[in-house]
Structure 1
């Protein structure tokens, strides 16, 4: 059993480990359009970034009049996985950072477990985390509530005060803060060049905002008050 005072670095997946957000948003926009709705790229990022499947289904139903039933979701899943197979890339520098990281680590993502593992497998990152992969499907409330991060910490026998969360979405940043954890906002994904997004992230006052994974180890070490590897 790991000691609860040992540091734990908790990674979101989409937009932090893999550069998937533009692919996901395009698939969602296409699905909404196919059902007679209109969803701009800016609105898609603002309303859906970092949210769970359950939240997405609720928003589509209540605000777009789209019943995201099993057939709708299966069509989106097939389209997304095809794009992943063809185009998905890891975030630049993340593999090297994970290779050198001396602290315990896990994934806590709003995505379905199957999608998380597919993303990590396609980008060569899965072995850095297995079996410590946690999904919003494992808790009652998804981000921006703290449930998922608290669940991951409990499963890893880590105190929230010893956890560093690496997130890219406003919902995830809020969830980490509500969990009583340090949160590092990563703004280096290809979806992060929008001024509105950067302003929203900054307004949430994360502990650190950074856009280069080559700096992650130093930043975590500095936050924990330990020597960098």
Structure 2
């Protein structure tokens, strides 16, 4: 992926871990649930195994690691995760300023997530962003039937805004999201606030650790 490119015509944000700092709460709910089903993981191990995946993929992975999960487990974990998120999740530091900067430069933004619209209503609704993105600028794998690491979610967003893939920029924090962006032919910034980001860089992302860095990376 190129290290520099023209200012994008569309910025596509992932939701969990990018717009909102929801991964710790979600993975605490995951770890608590899996412990009841025979698989003991720390929150950090849960994040390493599951961040960015579909829930069907998480279920298969957890079973491969030894969890004894019932057939209705996906409904169970969604209910527990949503209840945990409703207790409160913050915006990622720097997101309000970054969105304001993009607005000032008249650069459209949207959100594309493997999560459901219901989940985004909980997390974004707490933080004043639900009305901004829903429904015209919100793309959910649950609604579209295509999930990262396949590129279709990002390509659907680009098509909706009438922007070529090469003129889009994706901001992601997961391997599956970076792979999807690369497959879509889009420049990708990999958000790694708590680590080196080597995994994301190896997949083709330009790694950064603070949202305040993004304007310079976009030449705005």
Matched, 1:90 2:91: yes
User: Which blocks of at least 5 consecutive residues in structure 2 are unaligned?
Assistant: 1-7
* CA–CA separation in structure 2 for the residues paired with 1:174 and 1:214: 24
TM-score normalised according to structure 1 size? 0.82
**What is the deviation of 1:42?**
4.1
Q: Where do residues 144-183 of structure 1 align in structure 2 (5 Å cutoff)? A: 144-183=149-188
Counterpart of 1:111 (choices 96, 115, 128) is 115
TM-score normalised according to structure 2 size? 0.85
User: Which blocks of at least 5 consecutive residues in structure 1 are unaligned?
Assistant: 1-5, 223-227
**What is the deviation of 1:39?**
2.9
Partner in structure 2 of residue 8 of structure 1: 10
What is the aligned-residue RMSD (CA, Å)? 2.0
Count, aligned residues:
209
Q: Where do residues 57-206 of structure 1 align in structure 2 (5 Å cutoff)? A: 57-67=59-69, 69-70=71-72, 72-101=73-102, 102-131=106-135, 132-188=137-193, 192-193=194-195, 198-206=197-205
Deviations 1:106-141 (A, max 9, x none): 100011111012111112222332221111123444
Partner in structure 1 of residue 32 of structure 2: 30
